[in-house]
Amino acid sequence: MDQVLTPRVGPQVVYLTITADQAGQRLDNFLINVLKGVPRKRIYQMIRKGEVRANGGRIKPTYRIKANDSLRIPPVKQVGLDKLDKGKPDSRWLSQINGFILREEADFLVLNKPSGLAVHGGSGIRHGVIEIMRVSRPDLHYLELVHRLDKDTSGCLLLAKKRSFLREVHAQLRQREMKKQYLALCRGAVTKQWIDAPLQIITRGGERMSVVDPAGKSARTRVSPIRVYPQCSWLSVRLDTGRMHQIRAHLAHIGHPLVGDTKYGDKAFNQEMRNLGIKRLCLHASQLTFAHPVTAEKVSVSAPLDQALQSSLSVLG
């Protein structure tokens, strides 16, 4: 009997039945997502040699999988998953994760992600939001991240419960129709402005980061002061584009790095803030707005500040 889709394909042949939500994807992209930890070269080799088959026949990487297709997946070794999957996620997060849900509907849910919790596992992180939610909510047969937030950034995080929803909302992201609003605390007095500076991803000290570079991709950030303190500014920030670390890199570029930013920030200033009790990256995804792909309804979700950020503002005040 065909097995229900699972990301853990082990040392034996497995048959996966494609659901309506999964239909329409290219075969290669589907397998890359399912066989996490398997090198792409091996995936294309399996397809080329006919080890992967649909309904008993050979197929090409460009084949669009269809609902009720039966995919044969050969035995594979998913590098690293044996380590990442040991044990359940931290019981503390498992007990709390559903309390972070701000809004849930048939197609999606929005979480108020806490600072310090990664959105997914990897690079030494065993479990993130997506892995914890999948364990906590076994009733959800499909659950994927729509976008990402840095580990130390808190706030609105959108997850798709259907592939059709994910596909349509990704189109809104590409067309810049999804609106993201942030709150940020940075060094110094900031004036209202657009920061229009292209960003290039580089690797420095073994870590990926974004730097302003004319050869980079276009990036625009709108900053508006809400309140200016003696040492800092509390800002409303709107993204016109969605580049990696965009807010952090742009504010550092204009000389106003985020409080608590260990990658782009001012080490001495961060220590000064820590002495005041401000010990986290002061960036919060406060609001997310998009059009529901099915109803065309405008969906707007706001995430309240956590206690740590509220306390930080009280200290400054």
Taking only the tens place, the pLDDT of each residue in 243-289 is 999 999 999 999 999 999 999 999 999 999 999 999 999 999 999 99
Q: Is there a contact between 154 and 309 (Cβ–Cβ < 8 Å)?
A: yes
- Across the range 213-219, mean pLDDT stands at 96
* Better pLDDT: 32 or 146: 146
What backbone phi and psi angles, to 5 degrees, belong to 174?
A: -65, -35
pLDDT in tens, 46-99: 999 999 999 999 999 999 998 888 899 998 876 544 443 445 788 888 999 999
Active site residues: 150
90 within domain boundaries: yes
What is the tens place of the pLDDT at every residue in 1-28? 333 334 444 557 888 888 776 788 899 9
**Same domain membership, residue 253 and residue 193:** yes
* CB within 8 Å of 241: residues ≥ 6 apart: 176, 217, 218, 219, 220, 221
The pLDDT tens digits for 28-45 are: 988 887 887 788 889 999
Report the 10 Å Cβ neighbour count for 105.
14
Q: Comparing 83-87, 111-115, 148-152, 213-217, which segment has the lowest mean pLDDT?
A: 83-87
Q: For the chain, what percent of residues have pLDDT higher than 70?
A: 92
CA distance 129 to 133: 6
State the total domains in the chain. 3
d(C-alpha 180, C-alpha 283), whole Å: 13
Answer yes or no: do 136 and 199 share one domain. no
What is the pLDDT confidence band of residue 100, given thresholds at 50, 70 and 90?
Answer: very high
Please name which of 234, 215, 110, 222 lies closest in space to residue 176, comparing C-alpha atoms. Answer: 222
193 & 256 share domain:
yes
- Shared domain for 311 and 182, answered yes or no, is yes
Last residue in a domain, options 172, 196, 215: 172
* Rounded-to-integer distance, Cα 18 and Cα 9, Å: 15
182 and 167 in one domain?
A: no
In sequence order, what DSSP letters do the residues of 209-231 get, joined into one string? EEEE-TTSB--EEEEEEEEE-SS
The band of 119, judged by pLDDT with boundaries at 50, 70 and 90, is very high
**Domain check: are 125 and 88 in the same one?**
yes
Number of Cβ within 10 Å of residue 295's Cβ equals: 10
Query: For the residues 136-145, what does the mean pLDDT come to?
Result: 90
CB 305 within 8 A of CB 115: no
Q: What is the pLDDT averaged over residues 145-158?
A: 96
The CATH number of whichever domain residue 297 belongs to comes to 3.30.2350.10
DSSP category for residue 26: B
**Structure confidence at residue 1 (pLDDT):** 31
Which of 172, 193, 222 is a domain's end point? 172
Q: Answer whether residue 144 shows pLDDT above 80.
A: yes
pLDDT score recorded for residue 129: 94
pLDDT tens digits for 153-199? Answer: 999 999 999 988 998 999 999 899 999 999 999 999 999 999 999 99
pLDDT at 89: 82
- Answer yes or no: is 8 within a domain: no
Last residue of a domain, one of 78, 104, 119: 78
| pTM beyond 0.75, yes or no | yes
Check: CB of residue 225 under 8 Å from CB of residue 192.
yes
The tokens for 239 are 């993204």
Question: Is residue 6 assigned to a domain?
Answer: no
- Domain extent, residue 112, equals 83-172
pLDDT for the residue numbered 122: 67
Based on the fold, state whether residues 146 and 271 are members of the same structural domain. no
